Structure 1
């Protein structure tokens, strides 16, 4: 069976964007792939993390995996730092990758911003650790969104160069798994900004741990505009919403997009259903759907994190299963490099 590897950083409260953009897809993919899902805590510390919070957030991401429907008996779920093969292989890849490749990585430029000289070395070489994450398991496919395509291409380049330099086909060249256009989930208070963990106001996002009343209150208070809801004539010939149209009414299209994603409906179907209605009626329908889909996940996450023994047991068992795959691959790479092992 083809194998996938993917992960989520434990850097704050998970929200609707994390669920629709990644975790929901993980649930679907587990039925068709040998799936390895990681909580990438080594990646998290490329920027400062409070140690106590990091531990809590690691459990929270694991709880989200479980509550959303990922089966730990079918998949491997673990936190990255438990399997040292990730770090060891990343160092080898630091010596394979070229500075020119790293200098072209746009995510470092975005995260470091104007304070490039103050950024950690770990943030700079983040892509080599990501390559190690994927290649340590000889993953054949990686589910990617738009912001991760460059990192996967980096991993492919590392695999190709390693195999070429050491004259061995140690690593497969992983393929991107494109899952279609992901829902563009924006802030509930500003439809022009992405929904984010880092926004100070909790009212800007729907957290995966929110209960039914909290979800309802946030949708009720979400920003709208005075016009009625548009019809399908705003779509292009392919049935997609043009970016220039979205910018005209960002709050409106954000809420409609959330409804489309949660209901698994197309833009055309949603716009046909709600054309000409006011936001009061639409928000009631959206609230009912969001509560139906998300509240059970939040309840289960809260149950799991209240007594973390189950989570910790799953992470330990998952790490053992992950290491059983990754360590032989690491040994193969170490042998190819020429390190003495006996």
Structure 2
């Protein structure tokens, strides 16, 4: 009897996840019928670096959720092949993959409206990357800004770090993607994918569309300790970033310690008052208001009082996401099953494209 009871509890838990429970954060009826969505395929990837921070959410993930209602096919990949361009502890990497999967679901990525999968589970990514690498010149990769920056940090870096933009291009082209949500700092990498689509098409035959950029209009979130830099997971300063799983107390403390200046009035002047302006920008983004609107709300407050208002708004936005991450992480079997199903769907799209590519290249 005890075994039976445990099995039934587990079944209920899985049912809750597989139902619409993890999407309770969003308004009923938000999803539109697939026939009303724009035709095209959206692809984007995110490295499994653990729980995302507020900058990741406002800069990318929030728009990823919205794209599920706008396009007929949307694919999001946890790009673990990219992550090993830097040294990784295998167990930490496994945990980070699960953390990222739980975070994406908690933010609103819906497996019934998009395909969520782990990149390494679809071997066609690596195969197409090799083929495209044979069409890419070394000077073309050498001039990409990320290589210049990261190779200096790593004393030239690895071959994988040098060629990972080709893998990025393969990620996109493998599914004949038409649109890619990117930040401004990724435009040059998308241009490489566009160039490789043209090169392959000219050399072997028309197969790949040239993917178009979907630029996010969200303001960049800056570090709470250094508002001249963007919020980053790699920042060694503990209070520089707000993470999606931070407790309300953590968030309140980090916002209280955010760098501002000696002027007490709350204004939005990014060039001369970057710290306060960063708080205003975050406040506007998490509350769905305009910058002008939150400035009016802060009228008569000093920056210390205003920080309390900003913290409350961020806590209100992130608390349900934090709780859902905890709930999802408690059932790793569910996450693994969901990623396996996503990989199967991704392979069903990748396999016929690679079959066509192999034939055009002359492998058979």
Residues 229, 252 of structure 1: 8 Å contact kept: no
Structure 2 unmatched ranges of 5 or more = 1-38
Whole-angstrom distance in 2 between the partners of 1:202 and 1:53? 20
Identify the residue that residue 179 of structure 1 maps to in structure 2: 216
Identify the residue that residue 218 of structure 1 maps to in structure 2: 254
Identify the residue that residue 167 of structure 2 maps to in structure 1: 129
Whole-angstrom distance in 2 between the partners of 1:111 and 1:298? 32
Which of these residues, 305, 310, 314, is aligned with residue 286 of structure 1? 310
Identify the residue that residue 331 of structure 2 maps to in structure 1: 307
Residues 260, 270 of structure 1: 8 Å contact kept: yes
Residues 89, 136 of structure 1: 8 Å contact kept: yes
Structure 1 unmatched ranges of 5 or more = 235-244
- What's the offset of the Cα at 1:295? 1.1
Identify the residue that residue 13 of structure 2 maps to in structure 1: none
Identify the residue that residue 358 of structure 2 maps to in structure 1: 334
Root-mean-square deviation (Å): 1.5
Q: Matched residue of 1:91: which SS?
A: helix
- 2:260 pairs with 1:256: no
Whole-angstrom distance in 2 between the partners of 1:126 and 1:115? 15
The number of residues matched between the two structures is: 325
Of 279-288 and 125-134, deviating more is: 279-288
1:203-260, Cα deviation, whole Å (9 max, x unpaired): 21111111222222222222222312344xx6xxxxxxxxxx5242221111111112
TM-score (norm 2): 0.86
- What's the offset of the Cα at 1:116? 4.1
- 2:225 pairs with 1:189: yes
Whole-angstrom distance in 1 between the partners of 2:139 and 2:155? 16
**1:1-342 mapped onto 2 (5 Å cutoff):** 1-33=39-71, 34-113=73-152, 115-117=154-156, 119-166=157-204, 168-180=205-217, 182-231=218-267, 245-340=269-364
Q: Matched residue of 1:324: which SS?
A: helix
Of 294-303 and 9-18, deviating more is: 9-18
Q: Matched residue of 1:111: which SS?
A: helix
- What's the offset of the Cα at 1:269? 2.8
Residues 15, 207 of structure 1: 8 Å contact kept: yes
